[in-house]
Structure 1
Amino acid sequence: MISILVDVSGFAAALLFILGMKRMASPATAVHGIWLTGIGMVAAVVASFGYLSAIPVEARPHTLTNVALALTALALGGGWAWWRGRRVAVTAMPQMVALYNGMGGGAAAAVAAVELMARDGGEASVGVLLLVVTALGALIGSISLSGSIVAWAKLDGRLERTFRFRGQSAVNGSVLLLALGAAAWALADPSQLSLAIFFAVALLLGVLMTVPIGGADMPVVISLYNAFTGLAVALEGYALSNPALMVAGMMVGSAGTLLTLLMAKAMNRSLANVLFSRFGDPVAGSTAGVAGHMKSVDARDAALTMRYATTVIVVPGYGLAVAQAQAKLYELVKLLQTAGVAVRFAIHPVAGRMPGHMNVLLAEAGVPYDLIDDMEDINDSFKSTDVAIVIGANDVVNPAARTDKASPIYGMPILNADQARQVYVVKRGQGKGYAGVENLLFYQDNCAMVYGDALAVLNAMVQAIKEQAA
């Protein structure tokens, strides 16, 4: 009877994972999808505990030696995640995602470490395929752990330097070969020394892979390590003969891989270029085409221009998240709509610091999903738009991506904000974006800068429109 309940729990967990991922495909149903996958994870945990009690002791590949310790760990981890998740700011969401994703990879690596150390103690005698799968999961999980920690440190401002040196790709390739060699040694002659060297080299590889990558590529990196974690979990699920882990890991791994490739495509770059290029380095001639000067206008004047426009497109960026101004932005949008202005939001695939960052930001402010358009759906509309307002975005609206072949962002699809009749850019100052290149949009005749913190600027705009209505 227990065996049947365990099998049903595992099947239910897998089904809930699949349904939850499907629901997450749309912003309108994403919250429901998160609840479904959460319930599925609970079912998977219950099935894991029941699995060990459902089969005879002599047939168990693993033993559950301390239920109290396992339950305590679940309570501490779940309680901490719930408490932190409810308090994290939207600006800190990317680094939280990176950190928790790394924990998943680390957990998979830890499971693999236990399996490999068991061989050192002479407890297990398993097939070569199972050993190779376990070691591969350990390698990928370790890379995901250390790489995600570096990504978290970069996003959180704790590691501001980008470490690059000549021959870096060759060094990383050599460390990868060394990790594979250490894995072979650990499998052929399992000992504490061989395992320690293997995991140390694997963790080092994750660090070396991530430290040269600039902030502009962080959304792709987070997505890639998410795929790595899923793959590591799937491999360890196979090693543990746990179907729920295999299904969950394969789904996360495939979804993360597809998202990574789609985001790289959105930047018109290959994944290899993201991981191994020196993106963001100064490039000779990268300021070609800069002519004229930046013009600035008062926030009130920009607001009144939008008030009497017919169409307005809003382009949000990370600066909006930093200023925590999404609610005030939506207040401005509602005032414009009341005045008869048609307002839309345009989202670039790599805007922000993680996949879907801007969608999460706008959803938190209560912006209806039907007002938000992806780049490919709205780009042709800019040329017939009266006003485009860019708030905290930079590289994703830089026309240099179309015209300057020497620019590191050349060829990257951008939002065509520069084609609107009038463009306002809300920005703290005249600094460059993450790509480190001048934005040609700021110098165009139809563009004006509105300098200041996004929240302060939007407050002034809202007040101007309210006074005009009065």
Structure 2
Amino acid sequence: MSANVAALSYLAAGVLFILALRGLSSPATSRQGNLFGIIGMTLAILTTLGLAAPTATSWILIVLGLGIGGFIGAKTAREIPMTMMPELIAAFHSLVGLAAVFVAASALYAPSAFGILVDPANPALGIKGGSLFEMALGVAIGAITFTGSVIAFAKLSGRMSGKPILLPARHLINAALGLILIFVIYSFIQSGGSAFLFWLIVLLSLLVGILIIIPIGGADMPVVISMLNSYSGWAAAGIGFTLGNIALIITGALVGSSGAILSYIMCKGMNRQFLSVIAGGFGGETAAAAGGGEQKPVKLGSAEDAAYVLGNAGKVIIVPGYGMAVAQAQHALREMADALKKKGVEVKYAIHPVAGRMPGHMNVLLAEANVPYDEVFELEDINSEFSQADAVYVIGANDVVNPAAEEDKTSPIYGMPVLQVWKAGTVFFNKRSLASGYAGIDNPVFYRDNTVMVLGDAKKMTEEIVKALAH
């Protein structure tokens, strides 16, 4: 394949990736966006193979790699439950980072195979300084992404405590490691590509990836997921510059920039500063007793109570959270909404930007249950409607509906925009218990006069409400 044809093919792939991101920005066009991404990646792979002109032996290895990897990916995507999607994405990010390390190592040891030029003025110096800088940057970000994603996966999957692990003098340690890493990268460039310094960069970066993620608490995990997504993109872009691969540069830049923008949006949705998240977030998945052990009076209700009030309401707003995902209650929830609509009730869904364990988690679950897109609203579009709602059904959410974010200046979530469910006529709050949420703090909504706690498994409780509505 000629260089001109390859350049056009890579450009077409880049356009398809842009269309993919645009499509994925809305549930209504997400399938189309996903298709554009598949076509773009297929085109990029075929173009790369056409440029490389592999030997017969190489073709066997390539086909084996594509076959094995494709089979594992397809099987995992089909079988993984939605509750494990956040940790699956973290695992995928780790593989992207590891791939960047492997590609950079291959380019270091066999630069001619990748078309990387040595310094024409002095070939003895090895690879050109510019290529070494790109290589070092790509491998450093890739290694940080790898170990950071592994830690995120462990926290999200419960293999490691979601509570912040705060090391003594951690800021000083991280700063020192950062300065050492910069010095080693400089020395690597000056050396013309020392293998020892290359692997020292990898080792230091792996350590940095661990140390910047372990202090981050469970409540900040949505930001971590989008941040690692951004890192994986920049790692790919860095290696793309090293290899002179336009497709890698375009793809990496798109993923890196979109991930950075998403991280900003998530931080804004939580009223958090990005640097404060990196410095060590708040929260953990181990739920504390409500009120720190203090017993407060709550109103307990049944499915029949909820069905009676919801069925006689004029307007109901449903607020889903991670508990809905754990119980896989989205289909039962849609059945409940359909039953309410048959009774003439106006039904809307309110989505907080950090509900669940990753950006868009609730949107994906509701889309899976075929909830109409025009019934799903983001926080800023629906918050003013809670005061007009006769009833609210909170299913598995907690921190995102906590009034302490507005009323308690001492609360760690103070200033975070929340869904103002307490302004509705009646709040039915479905949780397994009165335990605190992912941020580890109590929720005053539990004890308000207009709140009725319907405790139990989200799916079973919602199914019972559906049965009661039918009578």
TM-score by length of 2: 0.92
- What's the % identity of the aligned pairs? 42
Secondary structure of 1:425 counterpart:
strand
Matches within 5 A, 1:46-445: 46-53=46-53, 66-118=58-110, 124=118, 125-160=126-161, 162=163, 163-189=165-191, 190-280=193-283, 293-445=297-449
Aligned to 1:452: 456
Q: Is the 8 A contact 2:391 2:427 kept in 1?
A: yes
> Structure 2: which amino acid aligns with 1:364?
E
Q: Distance in 1 between matches of 2:188 and 2:254?
A: 29
Q: Distance in 2 between matches of 1:198 and 1:237?
A: 19
> Structure 2: which amino acid aligns with 1:211?
I
Give the gaps of 5 or more residues in structure 2. Answer: 119-125
Instruction: Report how far residue 338 of structure 1 moved.
Output: 0.4
Greater mean deviation of Cα atoms: 73-82 or 406-415: 73-82
Mapped pair 1:29 → 2:29: yes
Secondary structure of 2:357 counterpart:
coil
Instruction: Report how far residue 443 of structure 1 moved.
Output: 1.1
Q: Is the 8 A contact 1:147 1:210 kept in 2?
A: yes
Mapped pair 1:19 → 2:22: no
Q: Is the 8 A contact 1:102 1:149 kept in 2?
A: yes
Query: Alpha-carbon deviations, 1:348-401, whole Å to 9, x = none?
Result: 000000110000110111101111000000000001100011110110000000
Aligned length: 455
Instruction: Report how far residue 173 of structure 1 moved.
Output: 1.8
Secondary structure of 2:28 counterpart:
coil
Aligned to 1:57: none
Q: Distance in 2 between matches of 1:245 and 1:376?
A: 36
Q: Is the 8 A contact 2:136 2:201 kept in 1?
A: no
Q: Is the 8 A contact 1:287 1:407 kept in 2?
A: no
Q: Is the 8 A contact 1:348 1:375 kept in 2?
A: yes
Instruction: Report how far residue 66 of structure 1 moved.
Output: 2.5
Q: Is the 8 A contact 2:332 2:463 kept in 1?
A: yes
Query: Alpha-carbon deviations, 1:169-226, whole Å to 9, x = none?
Result: 2212222222223323333334443222221111111111111111111110010010
TM-score by length of 1: 0.92
Q: Distance in 2 between matches of 1:406 and 1:126?
A: 55
RMSD (CA atoms): 2.4
Q: Is the 8 A contact 1:9 1:46 kept in 2?
A: no
Q: Is the 8 A contact 1:52 1:64 kept in 2?
A: no
Q: Distance in 2 between matches of 1:120 and 1:164?
A: 45
Secondary structure of 2:348 counterpart:
strand
For the structure 1 residues 173 and 93, does the alpha-carbon distance in structure 2 shift closer, same or farther, using more than 3 Å as the test? same
For the structure 1 residues 129 and 123, does the alpha-carbon distance in structure 2 shift closer, same or farther, using more than 3 Å as the test? closer
Aligned to 2:122: none
Q: Is the 8 A contact 2:132 2:188 kept in 1?
A: no
Greater mean deviation of Cα atoms: 20-29 or 159-168: 159-168
Instruction: Report how far residue 81 of structure 1 moved.
Output: 0.4
Q: Distance in 1 between matches of 2:267 and 2:291?
A: 24
Q: Distance in 1 between matches of 2:63 and 2:5?
A: 20
Give the gaps of 5 or more residues in structure 1. Answer: 55-62
Query: Alpha-carbon deviations, 1:204-253, whole Å to 9, x = none?
Result: 11111111111111110010010111111111111111111111111111
Q: Distance in 1 between matches of 2:188 and 2:127?
A: 14
For the structure 1 residues 108 and 147, does the alpha-carbon distance in structure 2 shift closer, same or farther, using more than 3 Å as the test? same
Q: Distance in 1 between matches of 2:422 and 2:345?
A: 20
Instruction: Report how far residue 10 of structure 1 moved.
Output: 1.4
